[in-house]
Amino acid sequence: MSAEPPALEVAHIGHSYGARRALDDVSFSVAPGSFTVLLGLNGAGKSTLFSLVTRLYAAREGKIEIFGHDVARDSGAALRRLGVVFQARTLDLELSVMQNFVYHAALHGIGPAEAKRRGLSLLERAGLGDRAEDKARDLSGGQMRRVEILRALLHEPRLLLLDEPTVGLDIKARADILAQVRELVAERNLAVLWTTHLIDEVEPTDDVIVLHQGKVLAADRSTNIMAAMRTETIGAAFERLTGAKARDAA
């Protein structure tokens, strides 16, 4: 066997809504076990890209592969390696945390007993072991988000996509979630694609993809982008690349 294929390979993706061009010749890849930030302002095309990778609709131009499996042609194999945290809250609020887990596991062909075992172990490690039987409605915003991240890990994916996971959360909750996900990358050798418009979520060692008006303007290690743009911060590099100012904090 040759070297392992990238966790996510996006090649020459384009997408239009009628006359509006949402993505234009977008290419980048996410290495296995890396934390990659997809940085772009609202309207940059992040959500469209997200919909294409999760196969809500099919890419008409270009190709998307998850660990070498084509999302369009070999979607079963591709999607079972993929965990997703959507921007909108997707927990069933009337159901308990564990019931949410059991439902999600069923969508991956995992039976209730195994789902409960995995769910409980994930919750305990995240310090949420006592919330398993609580209704999702009774969790705080930050806890809901963390539960959603744990839920996305139930089927043990190797690539985790998060679409603006910290939107609407306070500073403490944001920091907790970032730390939780960075820990996962280190512990489980999980590849993460973290979508955001908040510049302060980027660390120097992260891979960064700058998406602006449907185009990839840069895709490299954060420090390399700063060096190429001759700036001190990734925020300044982003400004120089896009001519727009990214937000610093929520």
Partner 1 sequence: MTSETSGFTARQYAICLSGVVWREALRFLHQRERFVSALVRPLVWLFIFAAGFRQVLGVSIIPPYETYVLYEVYITPGLMAMIQLFNGMQSSLSMVYDREMGNMRTLLVSPFPRWFLLGAKLLAGVAVSILQVYAYLIIAYFWEIEPPTPLGYLAVLPALALAGLMFGALGMLLSSAIKQLENFAGVMNFVIFPMFFASSALYPLWRVQESSPFLYWICLANPFTHAVELIRFAFYEKISWESLAAVAAYTTVFAVGALIAYDPAKGMLTRKGG
Nearer to partner 1, 90 or 180 (CB): 90
Angle, helix 141-152 to helix 171-188, in steps of 10 degrees: 20
Could you tell me which stretch among 75-83, 126-134, 175-183, 223-231 binds partner 1 (CB under 8 A)?
75-83
Instruction: State the DSSP code for 201.
Output: G
- H helices of 1-111, in order, are 46-53, 75-79, 97-106
Nearer to partner 1, 105 or 190 (CB): 105
Nearer to partner 1, 73 or 245 (CB): 73
Q: Rule CB under 8 A: say whether 213 interacts with partner 1.
A: no
Least distance (Å) between residue 65 CB and partner 1: 14
Contact (CB, 8 A) for 65 and 5: yes
- H helices of 107-248, in order, are 112-125, 141-152, 171-188, 222-229, 234-242
Q: Give 249: exposed, middle or buried? Use CB within 10 Å, 0-12, 13-18, 19+.
A: exposed
Q: Rule CB under 8 A: say whether 89 interacts with partner 1.
A: yes
Nearer to partner 1, 72 or 198 (CB): 72
Among 5, 14, 24, 80, binds partner 1 (CB under 8 A): 80
Nearer to partner 1, 71 or 178 (CB): 71
What b/e readout covers 49-74, taking b as 16+ CB neighbours within 10 angstroms? Answer: bbbbbbbeeebeebebbbbebebeee
Contacts of 173 (CB under 8 A, 6+ apart): 140, 141, 142, 145, 166
Q: Which residues inside 50-69 make contact with partner 1, applying CB under 8 A?
A: 51, 54-58, 60, 69
Least distance (Å) between residue 15 CB and partner 1: 8
Q: How far is CA 249 from CA 152, 196, 235, in A?
A: 26, 11, 11
Q: Rule CB under 8 A: say whether 27 interacts with partner 1.
A: no
Binding mask 31-50 for partner 1 (x = CB under 8 A): ----------------xx--
Among 27, 29, 75, 233, binds partner 1 (CB under 8 A): 75
Question: Given the rule CB under 8 A, which residues bind partner 1?
Answer: 17-18, 22, 47-48, 51, 54-58, 60, 69, 72, 75-80, 82, 84, 86-90, 92, 94-95, 99, 102-111
